[in-house]
C-alpha cells in the first residue's frame, strides 16, 4: 500500500490522467468540414449570442483596470514550507471546519494520532473537503444557514500508520473508516452576538452521509435489472455515495452531490467479462488483482464486481452501475433519504450546475473529468414552479440528457442521448433508455460528441446565463483526445477556460456559440529560473495573474468569476506557479487577479457565500505539511476556510 502522502497524490494524479475513450480521433479538417455542414441556419438572436467580453467594447476595456475587482492581488507563494492561507489586505481567513470535527450529536473529540475508529469517523467530518453550498434559513438568510460539504476521498493519514495490507488484504476496520470518511457533511452555521460565524453543535440538522448510507434510486434505472445485486435484489436501495467531487443546487433548495472517480473503487478480475461489459470497460473499472485506489474489495465483497454465477444477480457485478450519478439531498430534512437521480446519466460526474430560465425551464450542466471525455447537460421536461415542491422534485426524473459537440467555426450543438434516435438502438447495444443512461459515455461516442481536455466545473453567469467551463489540463494528448479549436494546445499542461452562449439565452437550446475565454499558463515573454524563455505551450493568454490547471469555478451575484486551481505544486513545470490558488476574473475585461494562495500540496476547491456575499467559504483539500494544526506536528487536515472582510464588506469589491 502507498503510505507516503505525496507518493499517494502523485499516483492519484496519474490515475486521473488515464484516458478510456476509444472513439476514433478526427483531424482538424474533418472538424472544419463537420462544422460547415452544420452551419447555423436562420441566424441566432444577436442579443443572445454576443459574448460578454466580445466585440469592440471589450477591446477598449482591456487597458482599464476592472471595476469589478476591488482587492489587491496576492503574490504566488514560492516558499516550499508555506503552510497557511494568504488573502488580500483587509481580509481575514479562518479555519472553520476540518477533517474529524464533530458533526453528529455524539461525535467524540478527534484524536490527532488518527486513532478514532470507524464508528467515531461516521459522526465526524470526513476527509478531502470539495464542492459545497450554503443554504440560508429564510428568516435570517445572511446570519444563519446550513453548509453542505462533499468529502471526495481519503488520504493515508486517516490511519495512525497510513493504509495497511496483510497477506494481500485490507483490514476491514480500516476499510470501514475510509468508507465512513467519504460522502457529505451537513452542518448548521450561524453568526454569534459578536458577529462571528460559528458551527452549531449539537444541531438537529447536522448529518454525515457516507459510503455506507442507504440511498433511494429514482428515474429510468429505479428497480432496473442492471442495478440489482445479491444484497439488493430489487435494485432499489444503494449503499452510499463515492468520490463526491463538486455539486450543484436546485431552485427548490436541495443539494446535488456528484459521483466522480467511482470506477477506481471496483475490481472485475474476469478479463474477458471486463472487456465485453461496456458499463465497466468504458468507465475504466479496474482489472487484474486489485482495484486501483484502495483495494476495498479484499475486505468488502460489495466492491468485487467480478461476476459470480453462484449468487443472485451475479453477485456484485452490477454494483459499479450504482455509482456515477447525481444524488439529491434535502439539507433541511435530516430524516430524508438521499436519492440517486438516474435520468441525469452515468459518467464520472464532476458537478451539476443549474441554469434557470425566466419561464422556469432548466438545464443542469456537468463535465466528465477524464482525458477525452465530454460535457453534458440534463434538461428536465417540466418547468420549475416556485413553492410546488412535490412537482419540482419529480422534474429530475424525466428529461433529456444532451452531450456537447463543439465545431471549429465557433458554433456548437447539444446532441440528445435518446433511445431509438441517432443509432442508439438495440442492434448497437442500447436496447432501452436505461442502457443509454447507464452507458452514457458509449452513447455519446456514437453521437460524435467532442472529446475534451478534462472538463471540471461549470459556472453560469447570473444575468446573461453565459456558461463557463474549466478544462483543467491534458499533459499527454496522444491520439485519443484530438487537437482541435476547442482543445487548441498540443501539450496542454496548464489548461484553459471556455465559454458559450446558448441560442437566445435559453438553457434548453440545442445550439450555442463558444469561444476560448483564456488559456492558462505563464505570461507572454516569461523566463524561467535560468533566464530561458518559457516554451510556447506553457504560455497562456491570461490578462493579469498567472495560474495553472483551473478546476473549481463559480460566479458571485455581481458576475465576478471565481477560479480555483488544482496542479501538482511540486512538479518542475509548476515552479513559477507557487501553491494552489483562488483567483477572480472579470468576464468583460478578462482581467484575472489572484485572491488567495493555499498551503503546500493542497488543492483549493469548493466555494460558497452567504446571500449578499459578505462571508465566503472555500476548501483546502489534502494539504501536505501540518495545516491547520497549530503545533506543527499533528497530521494535515483538509479544511473549510471562512473568508470575511475586516470591515464587513462584500467580498471582492
Binding site for ligand FEO (CB under 6 A): 152, 245, 260, 350, 369, 456
CB within 8 Å of 430: residues ≥ 6 apart = 419, 424, 436, 439, 443
**Is the Cβ of residue 224 or residue 454 nearer to Ca ion in the bound state?**
454
Specify whether the CB–CB gap between 646 and 91 falls below 8 A: yes
Q: How many residues does the chain have?
A: 653
> Least distance (Å) from ligand FEO to the CB of residue 297?
22
> Given the rule CB under 5 A, which residues bind Ca ion?
456, 551, 566, 603
- State how far Cα 497 lies from the chain centre: 15
- Binding partner of 469, given ligand FEO, Ca ion, none, CB within 5-8 angstroms per partner class: none
Query: Among Ca ion, ligand FEO, none, what binds residue 569 when CB lies within 5 to 8 Å by partner kind?
Result: none
- Shortest separation between residue 130's beta carbon and Ca ion, angstroms: 6
Residue 245 beta carbon to ligand FEO: minimum distance, rounded to whole angstroms: 3
Shortest Cβ 366–Ca ion spacing (Å): 12
Evaluate whether 260 touches 153 at the Cβ level (below 8 Å): no
Residue 232 or 566 with smaller CB distance to Ca ion:
566
- Which of residues 245 and 415 has its CB atom nearest to ligand FEO in the complex? 245
State the nearest-atom distance from the C-beta of 625 to ligand FEO, in Å: 22
The dihedral formed by the CA atoms of 639, 645, 648 and 652, expressed in degrees to the nearest 10: -100
For Ca ion, which residue has the nearest CB?
Answer: 566
Question: Considering only CA atoms, which of 590, 602, 552, 577 is closest in space to residue 494?
Answer: 577
Task: Name the residue nearer to Ca ion (CB basis): 566 or 569.
Answer: 566
Q: How far is the CB of 644 from Ca ion (least distance, A)?
A: 25
Distance between CA 243 and CA 263 in Å, rounded?
A: 9
Of 373 and 551, the one with the shorter C-beta distance to Ca ion is 551
Q: What is the DSSP string of 469-499?
A: EEE--BS--TTTS---SSS--SSBSS-EEEE
The residue among 551 and 556 lying less far from Ca ion, judged by its C-beta, is: 551
445 binds, among Ca ion, ligand FEO, none (CB under 5 to 8 A by kind): none
- Residue 370 phi, psi (nearest 5): -145, 150
Spatial separation of the C-alpha atoms in residues 518 and 489, rounded to whole Å: 12
* CA separation for the pair 448, 213 (Å, rounded): 37
Cis peptide before 437 (omega within 30 of 0): no
Q: Which is nearer to Ca ion, 373 or 566 (CB)?
A: 566
- Cell readout for 322 is 450504482
Residue 559 Cα distances to 82, 459, 468, 653, angstroms:
31, 10, 12, 11
- Closest approach, Cβ 456 to ligand FEO, in A, equals 5
Chain centroid offset of residue 287 CA? 25
Q: With residue 403 as reference, give the H or E element that holds it.
A: strand 399-406
Task: Decide which of Ca ion, ligand FEO, none touches 260; Cβ closer than 5 to 8 Å per partner kind.
Answer: ligand FEO
Tell me the closest approach of the beta carbon of residue 114 to Ca ion, in angstroms. 20
Residue 86 or 580 having the CB closest to ligand FEO: 580
Amino acid at each position: 500500500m502507498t503510505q507516503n502522502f505525496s507518493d499517494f497524490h502523485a499516483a492519484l494524479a496519474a490515475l486521473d490522467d488515464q484516458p478510456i475513450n476509444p472513439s476514433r480521433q478526427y483531424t482538424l479538417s474533418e472538424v472544419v468540414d463537420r462544422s460547415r455542414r452544420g452551419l447555423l441556419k436562420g441566424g441566432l438572436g444577436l442579443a443572445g449570442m454576443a459574448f460578454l467580453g466580445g466585440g469592440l467594447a471589450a477591446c477598449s476595456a482591456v487597458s482599464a483596470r476592472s471595476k469589478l475587482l476591488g482587492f489587491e492581488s496576492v503574490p504566488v507563494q514560492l516558499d516550499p514550507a508555506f503552510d497557511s492561507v494568504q488573502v488580500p489586505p483587509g481580509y481575514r481567513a479562518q479555519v472553520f471546519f476540518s477533517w474529524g470535527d464533530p458533526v453528529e450529536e455524539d461525535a467524540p473529540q478527534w484524536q490527532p494520532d488518527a486513532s478514532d475508529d470507524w464508528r467515531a469517523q461516521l459522526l465526524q467530518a470526513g476527509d478531502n473537503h470539495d464542492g459545497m453550498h450554503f443554504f440560508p434559513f429564510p428568516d435570517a438568510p445572511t446570519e444563519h444557514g446550513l453548509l453542505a460539504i462533499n468529502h471526495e476521498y481519503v488520504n493515508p493519514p486517516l490511519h495512525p500508520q497510513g493504509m495497511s495490507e496483510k497477506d494481500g488484504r485490507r483490514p476491514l476496520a480500516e476499510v470501514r473508516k475510509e468508507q465512513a470518511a467519504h460522502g457529505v457533511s451537513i452542518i448548521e452555521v450561524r453568526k454569534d452576538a459578536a458577529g462571528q460565524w460559528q458551527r452549531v453543535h449539537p444541531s438537529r440538522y447536522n448529518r454525515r452521509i457516507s459510503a455506507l448510507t442507504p440511498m433511494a434510486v429514482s428515474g429510468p434505472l429505479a428497480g432496473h435489472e442492471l442495478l440489482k445485486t445479491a444484497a439488493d435484489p430489487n435494485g432499489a436501495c444503494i449503499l452510499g455515495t463515492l468520490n463526491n467531487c463538486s455539486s450543484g443546487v436546485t431552485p427548490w433548495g436541495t443539494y446535488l452531490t456528484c459521483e466522480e472517480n467511482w470506477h477506481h473503487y471496483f475490481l472485475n478480475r474476469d478479463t474477458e467479462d471486463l472487456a465485453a461489459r461496456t458499463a465497466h470497460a468504458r468507465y475504466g473499472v479496474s482489472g487484474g488483482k486489485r482495484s486501483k485506489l484502495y483495494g476495498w474489495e479484499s475486505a468488502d465483497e460489495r466492491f468485487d464486481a467480478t461476476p459470480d454465477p453462484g449468487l443472485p444477480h451475479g453477485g456484485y457485478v452490477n454494483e459499479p452501475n450504482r455509482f456515477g450519478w447525481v444524488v439529491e439531498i434535502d439539507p433541511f430534512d435530516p430524516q430524508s433519504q438521499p436519492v440517486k437521480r438516474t435520468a441525469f446519466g452515468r459518467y464520472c460526474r464532476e458537478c451539476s450546475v443549474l441554469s434557470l430560465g425566466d419561464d422556469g425551464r432548466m438545464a443542469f450542466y456537468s463535465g466528465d473529468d477524464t482525458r477525452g471525455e465530454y460535457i453534458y447537460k440534463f434538461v428536465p421536461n417540466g418547468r420549475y414552479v416556485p413553492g410546488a415542491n412535490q412537482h419540482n422534485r419529480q422534474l429530475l426524473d424525466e428529461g433529456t440528457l444532451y452531450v456537447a459537440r463543439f465545431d471549429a467555426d465557433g458554433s456548437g450543438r447539444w446532441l440528445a442521448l435518446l433511445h431509438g434516435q441517432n443509432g442508439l438502438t438495440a442492434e448497437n447495444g442500447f436496447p432501452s433508455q436505461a442502457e443509454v443512461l447507464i452507458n452514457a459515455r458509449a452513447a455519446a461516442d456514437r453521437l460524435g460528441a467532442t472529446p475534451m481536455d478534462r472538463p471540471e466545473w461549470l459556472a453560469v453567469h447570473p444575468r446573461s446565463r453565459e456558461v463557463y467551463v474549466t478544462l483543467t489540463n491534458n499533459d499527454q494528448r496522444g491520439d485519443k483526445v484530438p487537437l482541435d479549436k476547442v482543445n487548441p494546445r498540443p501539450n496542454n499542461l496548464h489548461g484553459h477556460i471556455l465559454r458559450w452562449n446558448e441560442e437566445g439565452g435559453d438553457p434548453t437550446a440545442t445550439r450555442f456559440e463558444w469561444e476560448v475565454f483564456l488559456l492558462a499558463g505563464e505570461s507572454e515573454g516569461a523566463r524561467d529560473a535560468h533566464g530561458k524563455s518559457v516554451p510556447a505551450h506553457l504560455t497562456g493568454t491570461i490578462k493579469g495573474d498567472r495560474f495553472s490547471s483551473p478546476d473549481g469555478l463559480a460566479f458571485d451575484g455581481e458576475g465576478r468569476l471565481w477560479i480555483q486551481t488544482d496542479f501538482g505544486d511540486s512538479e518542475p513545470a509548476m515552479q513559477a506557479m507557487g501553491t494552489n490558488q483562488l483567483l477572480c476574473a472579470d468576464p468583460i475585461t478578462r482581467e484575472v487577479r489572484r485572491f488567495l494562495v493555499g498551503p503546500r500540496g493542497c488543492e483549493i476547491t469548493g466555494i460558497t457565500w452567504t446571500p449578499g456575499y459578505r462571508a465566503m467559504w472555500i476548501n483546502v483539500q489534502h494539504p501536505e505539511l501540518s495545516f491547520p494544526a497549530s503545533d506543527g506536528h499533528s497530521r494535515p487536515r483538509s479544511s473549510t476556510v471562512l473568508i470575511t472582510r475586516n470591515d464587513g464588506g462584500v467580498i471582492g469589491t
